[in-house]
A and B are shown apart, each in its own frame.
Chain A
Amino acid sequence: DAKTTQPPSMDCAEGRAANLPCNHSTISGNEYVYWYRQIHSQGPQYIIHGLKNNETNEMASLIITEDRKSSTLILPHATLRDTAVYYCIVRVAGTGGGADGLTFGKGTHLIIQP
């Protein structure tokens, strides 16, 4: 699976949009971009995933650049409960992450400020 790079931490004001970037410059054509988040000491929560088109669900939007080398997760109206570590993962669909499972990096610690 391709490697991802994320900023270690970000702050965002409550009620504003939180934009979390992820760089995946070595992504392959058949690899999807997945986002998870983990609130302290809980299990990771699936947020959204996409291949090349922008995606939106009830939690967030995912914007993938045309060359697929980077993406941005957008939380449109951040609340205090969105404070968590956000992980960007790229993997081939159908493999569950492949022989090594999902590869979690260090993620971005997003802190929502009141």
Chain B
Amino acid sequence: KAGVTQTPRYLIKTRGQQVTLSCSPISGHRSVSWYQQTPGQGLQFLFEYFSETQRNKGNFPGRFSGRQFSNSRSEMNVSTLELGDSALYLCASRGWGSRTDTQYFGPGTRLTVL
């Protein structure tokens, strides 16, 4: 079974631009979560989508948004990029239900904001 895939793997943007990252979950998984990892703050939860609806949200500004499509693929968007948005962005997928909900992570997208 293929794992979680994320595209692109690396991205360089300049301040003020916007960026869209993509995540394809493991086949059959309907939940997708996004995390930001920086050296200073560690891994922080951004939001989770299930059945095209945002179910949970972390403490990030409104510049960070996401969506999920009917095939469970998800995208996250960051508008008006700031230098501090440079980070590894991770996507994780899981099944739904107490016995199938281990989260599996993708390789991440490394975003550099100049």
Complex: A83 Cα to B42 Cα, angstroms: 18
B43 touches A100 (CB 8 A): no
A94 touches B90 (CB 8 A): no
Q: Tell which of A41, A100, A104 touches B110, judged by Cβ atoms closer than 8 Å.
A: A41
Complex: A87 Cα to B107 Cα, angstroms: 17
- Closest beta carbon of chain A to B58's beta carbon, Å: 6
Q: Tell which of B56, B88, B98 touches A101, judged by Cβ atoms closer than 8 Å.
A: B56
**Residue from A45, A46, A98 whose CB has the most chain B CB atoms within 10 Å:** A46
Residues of A within 8 A of B (CB): 34, 36, 41-46, 49, 93-106
Residues of B within 8 A of A (CB): 4, 31, 33, 35, 42-43, 45-46, 48, 56-58, 88, 90, 92, 94, 97-99, 101-108, 110
